[in-house]
């Protein structure tokens, strides 16, 4: 059984080379992850689409980092959400959450996102500066925290805990359990505060939302806030930072975008395809034998659809390893596919559009501090993000 190592690679060059090598072994294959867990890795674009819409490939809360060290009540408090649910529970949860997480609410955030972006850019220290810690991280964490209703004094705490939660196996079981425990306790405290004193925020709406006599349970509430705080900012951090990085690594594409800002929407879609914020989807498993492509995966097997390879599949994309911000035929799956397509995709796109527009306008001479080096990446199973991005702004 092949060992899948791209997840632990700490440069984009090595990571994508590792994924490409795996993809050469076929679009559906059994591999062993760096965690020691055997999984069926799905790498082809068509096959990933198949897997993400197959009703016999289901989510569960069994694929949790350091699960054996987590008490059951803590697992339920952090994992009873959309990403781990299946129909009909998923249908019910998505309906309830969508009632609070509306497009109208997202669109109304634009002036505030612009204000936060401008303030962060105003406060950047002298060059060189790490754009991840100084801009790409604080922008989304501030936006999602204000949207949910997290007080500013607690945002730094959530950011610290989230970085541990999202990199799971990169930390010891003791560190991971401590971070999850602290985060769940903080969320429970916030929910209690919002119950007694509701505000004009998403958390208050999630507490109040009903569909007939139905509403979110306590575990569903803590889990939804948990996943919105973590996934709602970590993926956007990655989109903004890798987006800026890849434009700087491709000066011809950067100049095209500077010359024609109407290309920004297609540029964002291409940046999502080329180097998306997630490497894989949340793991799932087969509840019955499933045929994907030419391979039958037995029942009770862990399945890992791989977005990083699907979006660079040469059978679907021309010149898949080239960045082309004018690409129009671009059915990428950076936000997933099917019923688990990311609910927060409109917010991520809005933040990325504002962030890239503002950074490029503010710093016409923006350049990499070490152009000869590959920016370091965080080792992780799910997410694909830069550890830092050092740039000169002047």
Q: pLDDT-based confidence at 100, cuts 50/70/90? A: confident
Q: pLDDT-based confidence at 171, cuts 50/70/90? A: confident
pLDDT of res. 72:
85
- Between 104 and 263, whose confidence is greater? 263
Per residue in 70-99, pLDDT tens?
A: 888 888 888 888 888 888 888 888 888 887
Give the position of tokens 């306008």. Answer: 361
Is a pLDDT exceeding 70 seen at residue 210? no
- DSSP E strands, 93-232: 129-130
Q: pLDDT-based confidence at 2, cuts 50/70/90? A: low
- Exposure pattern of 69-78 as b/e (b: 16+ CB <10 Å)? ebeeebbbbb
- Domain boundaries, given as residue ranges, for the chain: 2-392
pLDDT of res. 4:
67
Integer Cα distance of 365 and 363 in angstroms: 5
Among 29-38, 56-65, 102-111, 329-338, whose mean pLDDT is lowest?
Answer: 56-65
Taking the chain, what is the end-to-end CA distance rounded to the nearest angstrom? 50
pLDDT of res. 73:
87
Report residue 295: phi and psi, to 5°: -120, 135
Report the pLDDT averaged over residues 132-154. 90
pLDDT of res. 78:
85
Contact criterion met (CB below 8 Å) for 249 and 16: no
**Percent of the chain clearing pLDDT 90 (strictly above):** 60
- Beta bridge partner(s), residue 2: 31
| CATH superfamily membership of 2-392 | Cytochrome P450 (1.10.630.10)
| DSSP category for residue 41 | E
- Beta bridge partner(s), residue 394: none
pLDDT of res. 112:
96
Among 27-31, 61-65, 188-192, whose mean pLDDT is lowest?
Answer: 61-65
Is a pLDDT exceeding 60 seen at residue 212? no
Integer Cα distance of 292 and 143 in angstroms: 39
Is a pLDDT exceeding 70 seen at residue 158? yes
Report the pLDDT averaged over residues 195-224. 83
Report the pLDDT averaged over residues 186-211. 86
- Between 171 and 219, whose confidence is greater? 219
Is a pLDDT exceeding 80 seen at residue 147? yes
Q: Give me 280's structure tokens.
A: 């894989």
pLDDT of res. 271:
98
Is a pLDDT exceeding 80 seen at residue 63? no
| DSSP category for residue 386 | B
pLDDT of res. 104:
85
pLDDT of res. 211:
52
Average pLDDT taken over every residue of the chain: 90
Is residue 268 classed as helix, strand or coil in its secondary structure? helix
**Percent of the chain clearing pLDDT 70 (strictly above):** 96
pLDDT of res. 81:
83
* Beta-sheet pairing, 28-32 with 2-3: parallel
Integer Cα distance of 335 and 305 in angstroms: 12
Q: How many CB atoms lie within 10 A of CB 107?
A: 11
Per residue in 16-60, pLDDT tens?
A: 999 999 999 999 999 998 878 899 999 999 999 999 999 999 987
Residue closest to 221 by CA, chosen among 245, 198, 192:
192
Is a pLDDT exceeding 70 seen at residue 239? yes
Integer Cα distance of 237 and 132 in angstroms: 7
Q: pLDDT-based confidence at 337, cuts 50/70/90? A: very high
Contact criterion met (CB below 8 Å) for 120 and 135: yes
Q: pLDDT-based confidence at 152, cuts 50/70/90? A: confident
Report the pLDDT averaged over residues 208-235. 81
């Amino acid at each position: 059984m092949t060992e899948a190592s791209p997840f632990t690679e700490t440069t984009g060059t090595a990571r994508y080379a590792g994924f490409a090598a795996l993809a050469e072994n076929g679009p559906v294959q059994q591999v062993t992850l760096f965690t020691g867990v055997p999984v069926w890795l799905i790498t082809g674009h068509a096959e990933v689409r198949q897997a993400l819409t197959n009703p016999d490939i289901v989510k569960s809360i069994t694929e949790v980092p350091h699960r054996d060290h987590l008490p059951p009540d803590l697992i339920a408090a952090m994992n009873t959400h959309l990403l781990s649910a299946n129909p009909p529970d998923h249908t019910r949860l998505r309906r309830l959450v969508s009632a609070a997480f509306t497009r109208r609410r997202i669109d109304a955030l634009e002036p505030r996102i612009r204000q936060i972006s401008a303030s962060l850019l105003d406060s950047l220290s002298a060059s060189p500066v790490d754009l991840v810690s100084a801009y790409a991280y604080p922008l989304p964490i501030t936006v999602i925290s204000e949207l949910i209703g997290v007080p500013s004094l607690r945002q730094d705490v959530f950011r610290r805990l989230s970085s541990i939660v999202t990199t799971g196996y990169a930390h010891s079981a003791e560190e991971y359990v401590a971070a999850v425990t602290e985060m769940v306790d903080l969320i429970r405290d916030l929910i209690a505060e919002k119950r007694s004193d509701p505000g004009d925020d998403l958390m208050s709406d999630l507490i109040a939302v009903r569909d007939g006599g139905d509403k979110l349970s306590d575990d569903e509430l803590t889990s939804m806030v948990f996943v919105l705080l973590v996934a709602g900012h970590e993926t956007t951090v990655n989109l903004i930072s890798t987006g800026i990085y890849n434009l700087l690594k491709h000066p011809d594409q950067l100049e095209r975008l500077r010359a024609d800002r109407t290309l920004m929407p297609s540029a964002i879609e291409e940046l999502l395809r080329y180097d998306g914020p997630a490497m894989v989807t949340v793991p799932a498993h087969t509840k019955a034998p499933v045929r994907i492509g030419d391979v039958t995966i037995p029942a009770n097997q862990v399945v890992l659809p791989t977005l990083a390879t699907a979006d660079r599949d040469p059978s679907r994309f021309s010149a898949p390893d080239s960045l082309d911000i004018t690409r129009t035929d671009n059915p990428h799956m950076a936000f997933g596919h099917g019923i688990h397509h990311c609910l927060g995709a409109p917010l991520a796109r809005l933040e990325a559009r504002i962030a890239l527009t503002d950074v490029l306008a503010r710093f016409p001479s923006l350049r990499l501090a070490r152009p000869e080096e590959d920016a370091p990446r965080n080792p992780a199973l799910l997410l694909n993000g830069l550890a830092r991005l050092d740039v000169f702004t002047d």
